[in-house]
């Protein structure tokens, strides 16, 4: 059904149940719905818009497209939701190109990866990897209300200027494990500041040395240096200032590792505790000592430990 250049009430043309049902509905002009409107298919409003994905929706605006299955562009201009379950709320020049990607509004936001959220203030802003929240606001961000909790490493590209710094009480072992999980090789020579719950003092941990120092630079103790993140994923992004294509590398290390004396059997998906013993045997009057490996089943709780 196509309603073009109309300014009318759908009350006069509705079915007795108060609904219009069709495979698709395109509207150009003004339509007033006094009851329910159900479209079992695609819906396109506004001008020069296209809703070509299965069960997709364009509510209004101009030059918009909903190309993915269940994709939505609510309005705006030159906005596109090109992948399945992608959404653009409105604005101008916004693209949701990843699966379940969202651009709520603004201008020139590009959610190019799956499960990403991007908001831009007029500067072209792109997602850089899957499962990411990205926003660009030239005059800064204001978060009002309660506390801000960040579960993970906080990367700051500028100066930190807080009125105070609150450090949670922790242990040297916990700091070493966390550093191993979250610090990339490029920053392994840096230092982590923390409050030692056992000594009740602020200490500095240098991961590359496995060394703990006090604030005067005096060595307190050392441990075995951790295994720093070696697995990486490279995504390419457009630098907002120069327009150059630059690599952005994300690192990670496994949080869990197999303890010494245990192993993971990839063929069976089970863990084993491994010991070795020497067995004495004799052949033709000559004694021989042979090292024998003994493996017994082990539980995951026995075999794994946090880095």
Is residue 199 assigned to a domain? yes
Is residue 30 assigned to a domain? no
pLDDT at 213 over 90: yes
More confident residue, 159 or 24: 159
* Same domain, residue pair 244 and 222: yes
pLDDT at 61 over 90: yes
CB atoms within 10 A of CB 241: 7
More confident residue, 226 or 240: 240
* Same domain, residue pair 45 and 115: yes
More confident residue, 133 or 289: 133
* Same domain, residue pair 242 and 276: no
Q: Are 185 and 228 in contact (CB under 8 A)?
A: yes
Give the count of domains, the chain: 3
Q: How many C-alpha atoms does 2 have within 13 Å on its Cβ side?
A: 4
* Same domain, residue pair 220 and 293: no
Report residue 225's pLDDT band, with 50, 70 and 90 as the boundaries: low
More confident residue, 76 or 20: 76
* Same domain, residue pair 194 and 242: yes
pLDDT single digits (tens) 28-50: 666 666 666 666 677 788 899 99
pLDDT attached to residue 234 = 72
pLDDT single digits (tens) 135-184: 999 998 888 888 888 877 777 777 888 888 888 888 888 888 777 777 77
pLDDT at 57 over 50: yes
Q: Which long-range contacts (CB under 8 A, 24 or more apart) does 41-50 make?
A: 42/66, 46/75, 49/73
Q: What is the CATH number of the domain that holds 60?
A: 2.150.10
* Same domain, residue pair 248 and 285: no
pLDDT single digits (tens) 64-102: 999 999 999 999 999 999 999 999 999 999 999 999 999
The verdict on pTM exceeding 0.85 is no
Averaged pLDDT for residues 196-204: 92
* Same domain, residue pair 172 and 244: yes
Is residue 3 assigned to a domain? no
More confident residue, 255 or 77: 77
Report residue 1's pLDDT band, with 50, 70 and 90 as the boundaries: very low
Q: Are 69 and 83 in contact (CB under 8 A)?
A: no
* Same domain, residue pair 242 and 262: no
Averaged pLDDT for residues 242-260: 72
pLDDT at 209 over 80: yes
Q: For residue 67, give the nearest of 75, 79, 76, 77 by alpha carbon.
A: 79
Is residue 142 assigned to a domain? no
Is residue 103 assigned to a domain? yes
Q: Name the residue range of residue 55's domain.
A: 41-136
Report residue 124's pLDDT band, with 50, 70 and 90 as the boundaries: very high
């Amino acid at each position: 059904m196509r309603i073009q250049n109309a300014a009318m009430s759908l009350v006069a043309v509705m079915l007795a149940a108060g609904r219009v049902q069709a495979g698709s509905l395109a509207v150009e002009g003004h339509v007033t719905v006094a009851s329910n409107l159900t479209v079992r298919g695609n819906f396109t409003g506004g001008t020069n818009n296209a809703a070509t994905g299965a069960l997709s929706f364009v509510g209004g605006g101009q030059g918009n497209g909903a190309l993915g299955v269940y994709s939505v562009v609510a309005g705006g201009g030159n906005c596109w939701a090109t992948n399945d379950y992608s959404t653009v709320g409105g604005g101008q020049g916004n693209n949701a190109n990843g699966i379940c990607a969202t651009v709520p509004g603004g201008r020139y936001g590009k959610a190019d990866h799956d499960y990403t959220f991007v908001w831009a203030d007029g500067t072209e802003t792109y997602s850089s990897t899957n499962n990411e929240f990205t926003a660009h606001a030239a005059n800064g961000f204001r978060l009002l209300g309660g506390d801000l909790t960040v579960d993970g490493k906080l990367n700051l590209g500028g100066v930190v200027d807080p009125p105070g710094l609150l450090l949670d009480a922790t242990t040297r072992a916990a700091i070493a494990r966390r550093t191993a999980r979250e610090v990339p090789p490029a920053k392994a020579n840096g230092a982590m500041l923390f409050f030692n719950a056992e000594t009740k003092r602020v200490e500095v941990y240098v991961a590359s040395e496995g060394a703990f120092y006090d604030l005067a630079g005096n060595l307190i103790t050392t441990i075995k240096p951790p295994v720093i993140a070696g697995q990486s994923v490279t995504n390419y992004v457009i630098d907002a200032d120069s327009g150059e294509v630059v690599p952005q590398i994300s690192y990670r290390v496994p949080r869990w590792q197999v303890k010494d004396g245990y192993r993971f059997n990839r063929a069976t998906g089970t863990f084993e505790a491994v010991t070795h013993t020497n067995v004495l045997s004799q052949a033709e009057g000559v004694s021989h000592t042979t090292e024998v490996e003994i493996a017994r089943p082990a539980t995951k709780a026995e075999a794994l430990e946090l880095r």
